[in-house]
Amino acid sequence: MAQQNQRSNNSNELLVEGAAQAIDQMKYEIAQEFGVNLGADTTSRANGSVGGEITKRLVSLAQSQMSGQPR
């Protein structure tokens, strides 16, 4: 029997409504900080550095929230 509330296997699926806009805004803010012009004409390394920084900041934010510390 299939379960009704089964999640998909898509690891990129956002679980919080409205998170897409916040992540997108963060992406462009970080790209600006790094001097990266996101897009197909930019190297994978430069585009990837933005994604890596997003991950670092999200992990840091989650750790702060879990410990009850302000960011």
What kind and span of H or E run contains 47?
Answer: helix 44-67
Q: How many domains does the chain have?
A: 1
Domain that holds residue 39: 21-68
The pair of structure tokens assigned to 11 is 């690891």
Phi, psi (rounded to 5 degrees) for 46: -65, -45
Calpha distance 27→21 (Å, rounded): 10
The pLDDT, as a whole number, for residue 15 is 83
Residues of the chain with pLDDT under 70: 1-8, 70-71
Which pLDDT value is given to residue 4?
53
Q: Is position 59 within any domain?
A: yes
Contact 71, 64 (CB under 8 A): yes
Q: Is residue 10 part of a domain?
A: no
Residue 3 covered by a domain: no
What's residue 46's pLDDT? 95
